[in-house]
Every structure is written in C-alpha cells, then in structure tokens.
Amino acid sequence: MGALKVRVLGTHQAYLPTLAAMQTFTQQRSDEAVDELWVLEHEPVFTLGRNGQMEHLLDPQEIPVVKVDRGGQVTYHGRGQLIIYLLLDVRRRNLGVRELVIKIEQAIIQLLASRNIVAAGDREAPGVYVEGKKIAALGLRVSRGKTYHGLSLNVDMDLEPFKRINPCGYAGLEVSQCRDLGIAETTMELAGELALLLAQGLGYRQIEWLAD
C-alpha cells in the first residue's frame, strides 16, 4: 500500500490516446495494483468536464475540443504545461476526494513556496492561485474508488488560448505561469519535484520511477 509508480510519458502527448489509456488502466486494475502518477505534456486541446457548458467555449478556433468524464468545466492543455495524472485507489488509502484535492493543492503550493512564491487554494473553485491568477487546475474522476485525471500546472507556455474560454467556467479569470513568476525550470525539471511532493503528501513510502 505504500508503493507508487511515477511514469514519465514525456512531451507532445496526444490527449485522446492518453485518456483512453487512463480509462483502461482504471477499469482493468486489480485491488492489488500499485498506484501510479503519469507525468507528461499534452498537445493543444480544450477539455470540457462532465457538467461543462458550451457557453464557456468562447472561440476555440483551430484547437480541438474534447468532452471528458472528469469534474469541472473547461480548461486548456498545451505545450509548456505540466500534467500529472493521479491513478490512485483512494478506497484502499481511505482517502476522501475533498482531502485528495487539498493534498494536491498543498503539493503545488509547497513547490511554489520553495521558490518564495505565495500561492493558495480555493475551496469554492479548486486549483492554485497566485495573486488571484490561476496557475494550476484540478479535475478528477472517481470510479469504484479509483481516481484518474489530475492536475495541470502552467509552466512556460503560450497563455493566449485561455482567452478563448472562460477558464474553469469563470468569465474574466486571469491565469499565470511559473515563467512569469521567475521560475526558469522546464516542465520535466519541475515534474520530479512535484511528483515527490505529491507522493510524500499522500503517504507513499516507496517510489519507482519509470520512463516510457
């Protein structure tokens, strides 16, 4: 129960095959299967959650829109954004969804705090914010006590596509990114540190790193 695999999928990952792989992993995993984090960057895509409203897609233009089975509204994924998907057995870990969300937020807040950046979560609108601007988004799906989907952290990306949506369903919500806060590391350089903070916060005692 204390083991965790961190699978580094890398950059330029298409969204739909990754979503299908998460769903298959979750549906087929046994009760003994080791939990995993998947670390990657996606090619540009807007994703719309289960209760997402099309009105929040203002002008997607050439970027594809995918309806997905996570919670939340619309968000954007693209190059220069760190994605960590959490494929966890929360029932086995006796972990509630709200508690998991808080632990994810705290790991991101710790990462930023180590670089002297003050960040905070928001109980009404899950995610992490710096001076009111959203720097990280969260969205999860729980199926039979197993989670998939996860977090996105804006690292060093073109933020323009966020203007084509109401991010997470909030008109006028501004977004930020690590580069604009003086953080020079790339997504994959930050990935290892954030994955370790997540693992520690969730109580995993043994971590296996895998590169696909």
Amino acid identity for residue 55 in this structure: E
73 labelled as ligand-binding?
Answer: yes
Given this model, what pLDDT does residue 125 score? 85
Given this model, what pLDDT does residue 1 score? 58
Does the model's pTM come out above 0.85? yes
Q: What is the CATH code of the structural domain delimited by 3-211?
A: 3.30.930.10
Taking alpha carbons only, the member of 68, 67, 64 closest to residue 78 is 64
CB 74 within 8 A of CB 162: no
* 168 catalytically annotated: yes
138 labelled as ligand-binding?
Answer: yes
- Sequence-distant (≥ 6) Cβ neighbours of residue 114 within 8 angstroms: 193
Integer Cα distance of 27 and 128 in angstroms: 30
Given this model, what pLDDT does residue 100 score? 97
147 labelled as ligand-binding?
Answer: no
Of the candidates 168, 191, 197, 198, the residue annotated as catalytic is 168
Given this model, what pLDDT does residue 25 score? 97
pLDDT < 70 stretches in the chain: 1
CB 53 within 8 A of CB 70: no
